[in-house]
Amino acid sequence: MGTAATCFAGIDVSKDTLDCCLLLPGGETKGAAFGNDPKGHAALLAWAGRHARGAAVQFCMEAAGPDSEAPATAIAAAGRRVSVVNPTRVRYAGLARGRGNKTDKADARLIAEYAARESPPAWQPPPPQVRELRGLVRRIDELTEAAAREKGRLASPALTASVRRSVTRVVRLLETEAARLRGAADELVASSPALRADRALLESVPGIGRQTATVILAELPAVDRLPSAQSAAAYGGLSPREFTSGTSVRKRTRLSKAGNPRLRKALFLPTQTAVRFNPLLKGFFDRLAAAGKPKMRAIGACMRKLVMIAYGVLKNRAPFDPAWSSRTAP
């Protein structure tokens, strides 16, 4: 892990397959495909080690949710350096170099070249309790979305009585299971002193309730892995992105959205509450509105500020204090 890498393995991840391109020091490449399962992960490590011939290998893959978490965890557990990067960064890097082909092999090579050029930081698996919490939170989200879709069917006047009863039963089942998992998530947080303390800090922020705090704990990396509040906002795709060039191009600045969409989704409704009851966000929102900013752009800016506040209370290990910034200003 401490040796500088001279070989770079780009991995294009799918649900069942890992397409790998190994970039060797002289520019030579080796390619192979492996199953996305424990046997395939072990075969990938052995294959890369055999071709690297003792040289240090940096593995790199795009973030693809559960599909990428399993191989990344296996590689990290084997003591190898692995990076999990934002797919948008890799895609734009490829476009900048004229890479237009979209195949698994081409994507794997592009990722390997990106790793060799950018040397992205090593990924570290979250603690087991955070992995479990993340799984629960994401399953709750899936069940909630499924229940909303089923409820939408009830609006159809074409439903027969028997079908309507069936849809109603399914909605009740989905909502019951979601409630059960919310209880399991609460118990998990309560059983972990670290998670319990972090949730209490987050809940001290007006606008962040228990459900939102739980999602933040599950989806936001540990603050010691994020160098600043701005990086926390960037992780959620909440950094402003300018569109200006020369004197003619002056498009509106908007959120990049190149980040964790689950975190953005979890913050959207709470932010609309926070701009009414959180003194910092209320003042910020009012200033943006007075400057003529459209409401949704102002909400997006407040979402960014809210996640930065959440980072601040976790980093400083202190409850929310609206007067903190004025007291610490020079």
The domains of the chain are located at 7-118, 128-191, 218-324
DSSP strand pairing (81-85 vs 17-23): unpaired
Closest CA to 121 of 89, 87, 83, 155: 83
Please give the mean pLDDT across all residues of the chain.
87
Mean pLDDT over 116-125 rounds to: 88
> Tens of pLDDT along 166-175?
999 999 999 9
- Can you say whether residue 202 is alpha, beta or left, with left for phi > 0 and alpha for psi between -120 and 50 degrees? alpha
Q: Give the chain's radius of gyration (CA, Å).
A: 23
Closest CA to 104 of 18, 37, 226, 4: 18
Contact yes or no for 18/33 (Cβ under 8 A):
yes
Mean pLDDT over 28-41 rounds to: 94
pLDDT of 252 reads 59
The tokens for 232 are 């926390």
Contact yes or no for 266/141 (Cβ under 8 A):
no
Mean pLDDT over 271-286 rounds to: 92
Interaxial angle between packed helices 295-316 and 193-203, expressed in degrees from 0 to 180 and rounded to the nearest 10: 140
Highest mean pLDDT among 55-69, 237-251, 314-328: 55-69
* Continuous H helices in the chain: 38-52, 66-77, 87-96, 104-118, 128-153, 161-191, 193-203, 210-219, 229-235, 261-277, 279-290, 295-316, 324-328
Interaxial angle between packed helices 161-191 and 210-219, expressed in degrees from 0 to 180 and rounded to the nearest 10: 70
List of long-range contacts for 245-254, beta carbons under 8 Å, 24+ apart: 252/297, 254/297, 254/300
The tokens for 255 are 């959120």
> Tens of pLDDT along 75-98?
999 999 999 887 777 776 666 665
Q: Can you give the pTM of this predicted structure?
A: 0.77
Cβ–Cβ contacts within 10 Å for residue 307, how many? 25
The tokens for 150 are 């089923």
Closest CA to 23 of 64, 72, 56, 69: 56
pLDDT for 239 beyond 80: no
b/e 41-68 (16+ beta carbons within 10 angstroms → b)? beebbebbeebbeeeebbbbbbbbeebb
H or E stretch including 322?
Answer: none
Residue with tokens 């309507």: 164
Positive/negative CA dihedral, 231, 234, 235, 238? positive
Q: Taking CA 276 as the corner, what is the angle to CA 271 and CA 280, rounded to the nearest 5 degrees?
A: 75
CATH class given for the domain over 7-118: alpha beta
21 bridge partner residues: 10, 31
pLDDT of 255 reads 58
